[in-house]
Amino acid sequence: MADTDRYGKVRMSVDQSQSLDSIATKRRSSSRSIKRRRFDDELVESSLGTAGSLGKVARARAQSISSPGLEAMSSAATTPASTVTPSSTVSVPPENRQRRTGGSASGRTGGSAGSRRNKRPRHSHSVATKDLGRWKPTDDLALITNVQLTSDLRTVHRATKFSCRFTVQEIQQRWYALLYDQAVSRVAVAAMRNLHPEIVAAVRSRALFSKAEEQLLQTIKSASNPTIDVFQELLEQNAQVFYPARTAKSLYNHWNLMKQYHLLPDQTVQAVPRGEHVLNFSDAEDLIQDGDLGDPPDEAVEFELARSDRLIKKEIRSLENEMGNWQVLVDSVTGISPPDFDNQTLAVLRGRLVRYLMRSREITMGRTTKDSSVDVDLSLEGPAWKISRRQGTIRLRNNGDFFLSSEGKRPIYVDGRPILAGNKYRLNNNSVIEIAGLRFIFLVNQELINVIRHEAARLNLQP
């Protein structure tokens, strides 16, 4: 049994060696024409087994069969898998080496030929596009279109607006290049085909008019005052003559230009007199009447000016009438505060931004609108949308006392005390009045109030 096991092991080792031979002779190749020079065509498998088992198989095989390829394979197999690199010592058959060398050579040859083949169109393309920096596709399209319509390069140079200021020689050279240079014409045509349809339509809409088109436009008289429908009918009747991009509006505009420059046949051109009959400037000035120089009167303008003048005078008259009713003078608070009182001011209602002067015995407070007006407009001090149009009234009695009457929806606070609608409260000097978030200080002109009190007391003492 021991011999059987031993021979069985030897038989298995021989089978494994044959499999190794098949692996060694197996070649993995690629169908690509250009191979990578960095990698070898032969692959070393690292998953064949451990180094010890492969060594036993190699020694058993060496006793019976001697093969240089197998010795090399066994030496490679005894090397650890982690140290196997593409540069390891692996025997390659001569025919494989020749085949690989020939393939790489042919690959290199094919690659060089392909690279030369690829470089040629690039060089020709660079030559063809060297002049496309200034000549845009829109310039080429405008040049081709206008030359086909006018058949005159000088007319195209004068009347066409290009992206650059080309000279006549440059336009002529470009036209000849588009006609006879295949590389330039091929690139230009490809660029024009890539243009957006709206850009193409815009370029064609600015195309020059041919002589045949202008002759058809000259059939319309200058004194007829034609409409767009007339040009539309002309365009439909002569569709084979007019450029396809023409519209009735473009024909109408070009006809007006011809009329403006006296290019229509029915327009008579005044001949310039020659010899002694030439009219000089002094004679022309004497012939001109001064009355003819002025513009004719326009009734609409005169009516508008009279209406504006009437409204301004009405506003001035209303302001003059209100001057006597103004009892409160509003002054902006500046860095230099003016004196609070004068010989006509009874009291002052001072706020944060403005101050109101009380010069009559009774004033009304509130918010001025289009329908109603008050003496003291509190909206000049700050936000007043919560203030009623008539918020309250301040009155001066004969004894020199001031009373505040609340008449609005919201209460008025005097020194922190609320005064509801319909109630009154006496105001003292330096009293703080608060109305919907706006605070004022009430200042009394004591000298003028004392004079009023003495005058009232003297009148009461008289029988």
pLDDT band (50, 70, 90) for residue 36: low
pLDDT of 366 over the 50 cut = yes
Tell me: the pLDDT tens digits for 426-436? 999 889 999 98
Give me the mean pLDDT over the 307-333 stretch. Answer: 72
| CA–CA dist 70, 67 (Å, integer) | 5
What single-letter DSSP state applies at residue 37? S
Give me the mean pLDDT over the 137-151 stretch. Answer: 93
pLDDT of 109 over the 50 cut = no
Instruction: Please give the pLDDT value at position 263.
Output: 86
| Residue with the two structure tokens 């193409």 | 200
pLDDT band (50, 70, 90) for residue 343: confident
Which two three-digit tokens encode residue 127? 């030559």
**359 versus 108: which is more confidently predicted?**
359
Tell me: the pLDDT tens digits for 180-232? 999 999 999 999 999 999 999 999 999 999 999 999 999 998 888 899 999 99
| CA–CA dist 342, 348 (Å, integer) | 11
Residue type, 213: E
Q: Which of 14-23, 90-99, 156-165, 351-360 has the highest mean pLDDT?
A: 156-165
pLDDT band (50, 70, 90) for residue 270: low
Instruction: Please give the pLDDT value at position 158.
Output: 92
In this structure, the number of other CB atoms found within 10 A of the CB of residue 216 comes to: 18
pLDDT band (50, 70, 90) for residue 398: confident
Sheet holding 424-427, edge to edge: 376-377, 362-366, 392-396, 402-406, 424-427
| CA–CA dist 157, 147 (Å, integer) | 10
Does 3.40.50.1370 match the CATH number of domain 327-453?
A: no
| CA–CA dist 415, 442 (Å, integer) | 11
pLDDT of 392 over the 60 cut = yes
pLDDT of 250 over the 90 cut = yes
Instruction: Please give the pLDDT value at position 300.
Output: 87
Percent of the chain whose pLDDT exceeds 70: 63
